[in-house]
Amino acid sequence: MPQPRWITRSTLLLAGVFAAAALTACGTGLDSTPTGSSGSTTGSAAATTVPTGSATASKPNSPQISDAAGTQLCDMIRPELSNWRVQGPTLGRIGLNAIVHEWALRNGGINAQVLADKAIIDRVTTKSCVDVHQQAIEALELSDLASGLVF
């Protein structure tokens, strides 16, 4: 007797995380020198930032994240808090990664910056929604949100 095939929400979420990770890995090559340029090709790698309003970063050379983008991240995390409490920290961390990837892609593809400085997620959420930040840390049993990211 054949077994029914069930695709659970956590399985789909896990597949989404892997798909986002694969897409992120494909776009990590940053070439700041245009083709045919007479400039040096051996220069140092320049950090790219997306200046979109007021900065939430307190660290030098960290990406500029607008207040609106910070609020958007909080709005994406807030409805998932109860799910994370029920599902537990392991599945919740997968959900956190999926949310952060989606948020970064929605806001100009800042995945490379988040990868370089995972603590930006803590700084953004602490500034925009300290209550959501604290509840997420408690639900996911983390010391900070950056330690739950596996980019």
DSSP string, the chain: -PPPP---HHHHHHHHHHHHHHHHHHT-----SPTT--S-SSPPPPPP----SS----STTPPP--HHHHHHHHHHHGGGHHHHHHH-HHHHHHHHHHHHHHHHHHTT-THHHHHH-TTHHHHHHHHH-HHHHHHHHHHHT-SSGGGG---
Domain presence at residue 14: no
Does the pLDDT of residue 134 top 90, yes or no?
A: yes
pLDDT for res 116: 87
Domain presence at residue 92: yes
**Residue range of the domain that includes 132:** 49-151
The mean pLDDT of 8-22, rounded to a whole number, is 56
Mean pLDDT of the chain: 73
Domain presence at residue 112: yes
Does the pLDDT of residue 112 top 60, yes or no?
A: yes
Domain presence at residue 15: no
> What's the domain count of the chain?
1
Q: What is the pLDDT of residues 114-131, one digit of tens each?
A: 888 899 999 999 999 999
Domain presence at residue 41: no
Q: What is the pTM of this model?
A: 0.59
Does the pLDDT of residue 5 top 50, yes or no?
A: yes
